[in-house]
Amino acid sequence: MKIKTFSQKLRPSKLLLLRLLSVLAISALLLAGCSRDSSSGTPNRETAEDIREQIVTETGIDLVPLDFFDWDLTLSDLAGQVVVMHFWASWCVPCTEGFSAILDASNNLPVEDVRFISVNLDDYLDEESYISALDFLSFSNAQIENYQLQHDLLEIYSFFGLENIPTTIIYARSGSEQGRLGNEGDLFEPLLLQAINQALAVPLEE
């Protein structure tokens, strides 16, 4: 006796209908699993600007584009305050390891006396690098002023006289450079506080 399979038991019209329903079900699953932009036909993907807007809305943390001219204006606007300018990049391990010391110091000193500014040196032309830097700031809860310089790395090194990163420059109230620190390891935080106190002791030049 020959046993009929499930498909053989169905009438041709019912079998065709079942196959059609199966195709439609699979198509629906594929569409649900991959949302597409109706205008371009390509999968939706959040841009760096979308992610930035979301992080700013949720945390208040931003990574603002900055050029040399903007920095000169910013520094002149901060006359009368000690400024701590920290250069870092998300790909630099000592930079990310020492970032918490900058945040700790910023939380323990009055903002009217000392202004903390982080300057990111990730590739500003690369969207993934920008997102990586922004994610790090968000994860660190970096509630300070965060900028990303919009220049080639060699130009930045030359403009600020950098030899490597991390580098932290301390400016006195007059806007003149008071000192700078590099990768100091465990000594970074006490040396930073010492340099800030020395800068605070320098009177504002008329």
Locate all alpha helices (DSSP H) within 34-119, ordered by sequence: 48-59, 68-77, 93-108
Q: Quote the pLDDT of residue 57.
A: 83
Q: Using the predicted structure, report yes or no on whether residue 29 has a pLDDT greater than 80.
A: no
CA 138/CA 99 separation, integer angstroms: 12
Q: Quote the pLDDT of residue 44.
A: 54
pTM of the model as a whole: 0.74
Q: Using the predicted structure, report yes or no on whether residue 198 has a pLDDT greater than 70.
A: yes
Over range 109-116, report the average pLDDT. 93
| Residue 205 phi, psi dihedral angles, 5° rounding | -75, 140
Residue with more model confidence, 126 or 13:
126
Q: Do 86 and 145 belong together in one domain?
A: yes
- Biggest CA–CA distance in the chain, Å, is 110
Residue with more model confidence, 99 or 204:
99
CATH number at residue 169: 3.40.30.10
Q: For 159-184, how does the pLDDT look when each residue is reduced to its tens digit (9 = 90+)?
A: 999 999 999 999 999 888 999 999 99
Q: Do 34 and 53 belong together in one domain?
A: no
Q: Do 28 and 83 belong together in one domain?
A: no
Count Cβ atoms within 10 A of the Cβ of residue 178 and give its class: 0-12 exposed, 13-18 middle, 19 or more buried. buried
The boundaries of the domain holding residue 4 are: 1-45
On whether residue 206 sits in a domain, the answer given is no
Q: Do 85 and 174 belong together in one domain?
A: yes
Question: For the chain, how many structural domains are there in total?
Answer: 2
On whether residue 18 sits in a domain, the answer given is yes
Q: Do 14 and 64 belong together in one domain?
A: no
Q: Do 60 and 73 belong together in one domain?
A: yes
